[in-house]
Amino acid sequence: MDIQVHSVHFDADRKLIDFVNQRVEKLELYFDNIILGEVFLKLGNPSDKENKVAEIKLAIPGKELFAKKQCKTFEEAADLACQALKRQVQKHKEKISA
């Protein structure tokens, strides 16, 4: 799977990018036919405490899955988005194998 991480309006450090890559790569354990993972890390409204947004889009054959989470840290947002995508991937896998 090819993973692209985009940080919008800020420069993400290597540690954050590596963390996001690890989380998204784990989704291949549940469905090995993922073509592309695209991650957008954005800063939301600066007056909010939970202003870190992670949007993850997965391209799989015949479909695109998407999750968006907003939290206090990018790590937490990415983690929650990956958990949501894990459920979507498992649901899709059940549908195609039925």
pLDDT digits (tens, 9 = 90+) for 29-84: 998 889 999 999 999 887 788 899 999 999 999 899 999 999 999 999 999 999 99
Question: To 5 degrees, how large is the angle CA 74–CA 42–CA 50?
Answer: 55
Q: Is 95 exposed, middle or buried (0-12, 13-18, 19+ CB in 10 A)?
A: exposed
| Interval 83-97: pLDDT, tens | 999 999 999 988 888
Q: What is the pLDDT of residues 22-38, one digit of tens each?
A: 999 999 999 888 999 99
Closest alpha carbon to 43 in 54, 35, 52, 30:
52
- Per domain, the residue ranges of the chain are 2-97
The CATH class for the domain spanning 2-97 reads alpha beta
Considering only CA atoms, which of 5, 1, 2 is closest in space to residue 20? 5
Cα(7)–Cα(92) distance, integer angstroms: 28
Provide the whole-model pTM. 0.92
